């Protein structure tokens, strides 16, 4: 039976509307996903000049008979979709197959394929079949696409630089390898292997191929479920961060999807564990009954809507927070083995190029990681031991530069940033206080009057309830002044006016979607910093002890509320290694 079916024109039009080949990666996507649907176990992607000269995809899938081979690159042929229902449920990977004719119309294509009998070789140029011959009987398909846009020079100009084309392809192959970890992918450019997975079905191994061994050691396994959703995957420890969201990867029923709401949920679960403008590496697999999702398949992306999103949000949020909360997150100083990493000549070349042309590209980090061929041995999937005590007991030895407290215990040596640590302690304290509606207030001996610019005064006047709910006694005085008679007890002595001004500042900039929790959190962060011991301030031995003690009581003692680390650990072994006492 022919595997390719001609689909209804109606559907074809629907799909073709958004169907454009824009970049080399569009072609690669098309070919690779066809290979996946053909049941391939090994898919090799070979590029010449980052794909601009030639792209070749070799698979060991079922192959096509000669009838299918002849129609594969003609319009409206697809083996994937028969009706719109399939589209809705993404029961197949999508409508790929439909773009093959588009690809063929703007390039030179050679298709070699066989189901095990005599094979077929088809040559197409500009969408017109040039030649059909018998080929060898190797089962599988090889498609070579060369000279993309040769007949549409105007579009050729729209291709990015060699490096951005390669970065896009690399990024795509990373994601497809994550979602299909039982298939082995090999990506080669100009004869050099850039990325290779073993198809063993182990997602963590794919993560290692993308990000390298050091990062993979810092990935934490997650797994949780509720009535509607099941999630599993890996999240990075907060010390591993990236400067963009591209490394928040979500898969739904095995397909990589993009969903800004999911990204927000993941990012917010890391709140105060990392700096605001940094993002973790996260790979989350979501499993759900397909009837609970609505998929909008677009040639360049796959967006998705969830019914019962709140349940999913809750599941992800709780699981990430509880994992971050349950493991020891003290960054550990590790002595690197003295060896130069194997960096291909090409990498250096690319990095040089990158500094010129690559600045605006999103995915340089992926891309670089893939070029550094990490040949280190890979052991067992990483399990991080859980420990209920977050920071072990430790004893201060002294203070360096009025800023870093040196501590020790039987495990090794610790450095604590006294400002960051105090900030964390303060932050959790204020958050607790702000969350407690039964705070007492104190009458001030000398009431505080604060004058505001009129526009700000109007906003604050409208929001006096916020201040009153916090247990301030406040009244209007004249046209632009507030009189504060009492303040909540937790407001630190000597800083009353400064603190009130900060709170009023926050009220004037409060967003439309005001939430008390977020507001309290902002206040807690601002006050925590303002009232923490500064760097370059010498504190006594007993003050150090008190600080360490309070830090150990914290829910998240590892970072300040801005996400900077509070403690760094040097194990005995690392110390000995550094001094070459241990080899
Ligand atoms: Zn600070
Ligand atoms: Zn801070």
What is the whole-number distance in angstroms between the Cα of residue 422 and the centre of ligand 2? 9
Decide which of 165, 196, 227 is a domain's last residue: 196
Q: Is residue 338 part of a domain?
A: no
Q: Is residue 122 part of a domain?
A: yes
Q: CATH number for the domain including 184?
A: 3.30.565.10
What is the whole-number distance in angstroms between the Cα of residue 569 and the centre of ligand 1? 21
Q: Can you give the pLDDT of all 583 residues of the chain as single tens digits?
A: 334 444 444 344 334 433 557 789 989 988 998 899 899 999 999 999 999 999 999 999 999 998 888 888 877 545 444 444 444 333 334 444 567 788 888 899 999 999 988 899 999 998 888 999 999 889 999 999 999 888 877 777 777 788 888 989 999 999 999 999 999 999 999 999 999 999 999 999 999 999 988 899 999 999 999 999 999 999 999 888 888 888 999 999 888 888 889 999 999 999 888 888 889 999 999 999 888 888 776 655 567 889 899 999 999 999 999 998 887 777 777 776 554 444 333 333 333 333 333 333 333 333 333 333 333 334 444 444 444 558 899 999 999 998 999 999 999 999 999 999 999 999 999 988 888 767 788 898 899 999 998 888 988 998 898 899 888 999 998 888 999 999 988 887 888 888 898 889 888 887 666 677 788 888 888 888 887 877 778 889 999 999 999 999 998 999 999 999 999 999 998 899 889 887 6
What is the whole-number distance in angstroms between the Cα of residue 7 and the centre of ligand 1? 62
User: Is the same domain home to 18 and 150?
Assistant: yes
Backbone angles phi, psi at 55, to 5 degrees: -130, 130
User: Is the same domain home to 161 and 303?
Assistant: no
Q: What is the pLDDT of residue 256?
A: 86
Q: CATH number for the domain including 462?
A: 3.30.1370.100
User: Is the same domain home to 216 and 245?
Assistant: yes
Taking a C-beta distance cutoff of 8 angstroms, is the pair 539, 300 a contact? no
Distances (CA, A) of 190 to 56, 216, 253, 436, 534: 11, 28, 35, 64, 55
The β-bridge partners of 233 are: 222, 284
User: Is the same domain home to 299 and 444?
Assistant: no
User: Is the same domain home to 25 and 119?
Assistant: yes
Q: What is the number of domains present in the chain?
A: 4
What is the whole-number distance in angstroms between the Cα of residue 363 and the centre of ligand 2? 28
What SS3 state is found at 414? strand
What is the whole-number distance in angstroms between the Cα of residue 419 and the centre of ligand 2? 7
User: Is the same domain home to 254 and 309?
Assistant: yes
C-alpha span between 294 and 307 (Å, rounded): 8
User: Is the same domain home to 460 and 570?
Assistant: no
What is the whole-number distance in angstroms between the Cα of residue 187 and the centre of ligand 1? 45
Q: Which residues keep their CB under 5 angstroms from ion ligand 1?
A: 529
**Two structure tokens written together for 255:** 């397909």
Q: What is the pLDDT of residue 175?
A: 93
The number of CA neighbours under 13 Å toward the Cβ of 365 is 15
What is the whole-number distance in angstroms between the Cα of residue 219 and the centre of ligand 2? 24
User: Is the same domain home to 150 and 280?
Assistant: no
Decide which of 196, 229, 257 is a domain's last residue: 196
User: Is the same domain home to 449 and 551?
Assistant: no
Q: What is the pLDDT of residue 536?
A: 76
Q: CATH number for the domain including 552?
A: 3.30.1540.20
Q: What is the DSSP string of 329-356?
A: ---B--PPPS----B-HHHHHHHHHIII
Strands across the sheet with 255-257, in order? 219-225, 229-236, 282-288, 248-252, 255-257
Q: Which residues keep their CB under 5 angstroms from ion ligand 2?
A: 423, 560, 562
What is the whole-number distance in angstroms between the Cα of residue 521 and the centre of ligand 1? 15
Please state the pTM of the whole predicted model: 0.68
Domain region containing 309: 203-324
Q: What is the pLDDT of residue 297?
A: 63
């Amino acid at each position: 039976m022919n595997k390719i079916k001609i689909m209804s024109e109606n559907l074809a039009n629907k799909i073709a509307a958004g169907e454009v080949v824009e970049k080399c990666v569009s072609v690669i996507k098309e070919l690779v996903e066809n290979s996946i649907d053909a049941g391939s176990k090994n898919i090799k992607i070979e590029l010449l000049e980052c794909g601009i000269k030639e792209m070749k995809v070799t698979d060991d899938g079922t192959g096509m008979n000669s009838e299918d081979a002849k129609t594969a690159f003609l319009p409206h042929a697809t083996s994937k979709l028969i009706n719109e229902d399939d589209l809705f449920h993404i029961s197949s990977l999508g409508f790929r197959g439909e773009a093959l004719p588009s690809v063929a119309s703007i390039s030179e294509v050679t298709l070699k394929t066989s189901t095990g009998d005599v094979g077929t070789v088809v040559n197409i140029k500009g969408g017109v079949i040039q030649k059909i011959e018998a080929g060898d009987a190797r089962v599988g398909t090889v498609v070579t696409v060369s000279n993309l846009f040769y007949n549409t020079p105007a579009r050729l100009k729209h291709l990015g630089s060699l490096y951005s084309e390669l970065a896009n392809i690399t990024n795509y192959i990373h994601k497809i390898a994550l979602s299909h970890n039982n298939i082995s992918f090999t990506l080669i450019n100009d004869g050099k292997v850039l990325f290779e997975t073993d198809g063993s079905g182990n997602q963590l191994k794919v993560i290692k191929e993308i990000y390298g061994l050091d990062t993979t050691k810092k990935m934490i396994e997650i797994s949780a479920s509720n009535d509607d959703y099941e999630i599993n995957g890996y999240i990075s420890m907060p010390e591993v961060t990236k400067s963009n969201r591209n490394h928040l990867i979500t898969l739904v029923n095995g397909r990589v999807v993009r969903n800004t709401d999911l990204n927000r949920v993941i990012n917010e679960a890391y709140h105060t564990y990392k700096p605001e403008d940094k993002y973790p590496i996260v790979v989350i697999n979501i499993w759900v009954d397909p009837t609970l999702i609505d998929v909008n398949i677009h040639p360049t992306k796959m967006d998705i809507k969830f019914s019962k999103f709140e349940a999913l949000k809750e599941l992800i949020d709780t699981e990430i927070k509880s994992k971050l909360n349950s493991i020891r997150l003290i960054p550990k100083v590790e002595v690197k083995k003295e060896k130069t990493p194997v960096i291909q000549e090409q990498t250096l070349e690319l990095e040089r190029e990158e500094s010129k042309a690559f600045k605006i590209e999103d995915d340089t980090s992926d891309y670089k990681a893939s070029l550094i061929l990490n040949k280190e041995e890979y052991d067992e999937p990483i399990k991080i031991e859980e420990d209920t005590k977050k920071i072990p007991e430790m004893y201060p030895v002294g203070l360096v530069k009025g800023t870093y407290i040196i501590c020790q215990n039987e495990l090794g040596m610790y450095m604590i940033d006294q400002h960051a640590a105090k900030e964390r302690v303060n932050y959790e304290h204020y958050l607790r206080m702000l969350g407690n509606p039964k705070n007492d207030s104190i009458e001030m001996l000398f009431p505080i009057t604060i004058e505001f610019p009129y526009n700000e005064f109007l906003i604050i006047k409208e929001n006096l309830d916020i201040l009153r709910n916090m247990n301030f006694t406040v009244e209007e005085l004249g046209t632009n002044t507030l009189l504060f008679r009492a303040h909540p007890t937790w407001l630190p002595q000597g800083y009353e006016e400064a603190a009130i001004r900060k709170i009023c500042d926050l009220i004037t900039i409060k967003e439309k979607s005001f939430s008390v929790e977020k507001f309290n959190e902002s206040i807690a962060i601002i006050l925590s910093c303002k009232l923490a011991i500064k760097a370059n301030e010498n504190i006594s031995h007993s003050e150090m002890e008190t600080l360490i003690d309070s830090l150990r009581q914290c829910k998240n003692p590892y970072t300040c509320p801005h996400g900077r680390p509070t403690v760094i650990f040097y194990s005995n072994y690392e110390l000995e290694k550094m001094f070459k006492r241990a080899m």
